Structure 1
Amino acid sequence: MYKKVERQALYVWVYSLKWRKKLQRYGTIYYTSPKMKYVMLYVNSSKVPEIRKELNSKNYVKRVSLAHRKELDEHFVLKSKSTEEEN
């Protein structure tokens, strides 16, 4: 049976994109921005602190930041016109 693994997105800002291939060993590369020079990397949530610490120690990495998607509420409620008129 398939077991769901929680994943966390990391934004890794690099000095040059030639290091993109080295970042593949830390997780799955989802997106690369050539203009802004960052790589969006998905890693297991349980390993985020260790990977973040290790990436920050690399000389080709400017900074590492977490994606805030997990913190956002993804359950949206549409307001109907009748409820807007009552208020």
Structure 2
Amino acid sequence: MYKKVERQAMYVWVYSMKWKKKLQHFGTVRYVSPKMKYIMLYVNSNRVAEVKKELVSKNYVKRVTMAHRKELDEHYVLKDNAERKDKLEE
């Protein structure tokens, strides 16, 4: 059966876009921005530290930043209808 693997998004800023093929060896390339010269890469959570360390050591990488999506609270609460009616009446 399929087992869900936790993944972390990384933004890899490069000097030239010709290196995007090389980055496929580190994880799954999800998005490429040729204008801003960064590549969004998904990596398994248990390998994040070692992949980041290896990418920073490459001469074609400017910097590596982590996505903050895991830190965000994804549980939203809708306002009560009564509160919305009070605001509309004012």
TM-score (norm 2): 0.90
Q: CA deviation at 1:4?
A: 0.7
- Write out per-residue CA displacement over residues 28-77 of structure 1, whole angstroms, 9 at most, x where no aligned residue: 00000011000000000000000000000000000000000000011111
* SS in structure 2 of the partner of residue 4 of structure 1: coil
* Aligned equivalent of 1:49: 49
For 1:67-86, list aligned pairs within 5 A.
Answer: 67-84=67-84, 85=86
Unaligned runs of 5+ in 2: none
CA distance in 1, matches of 2:79, 2:53: 44
Residue in 2 that maps onto 1:18: 18
RMSD, matched Cα: 1.3
- Structure 1: give runs of 5+ residues left out of the alignment: none
Larger Rg: 2
2-side partners of 1:42 and 1:80: how far apart?
38
* 4+ aligned runs moved over 2 Å, structure 1: 83-86
Q: Which amino acid aligns with 1:79?
A: K
1:45, 1:30 → 2: CA distance? 16
Correspondence for 1:9: 9
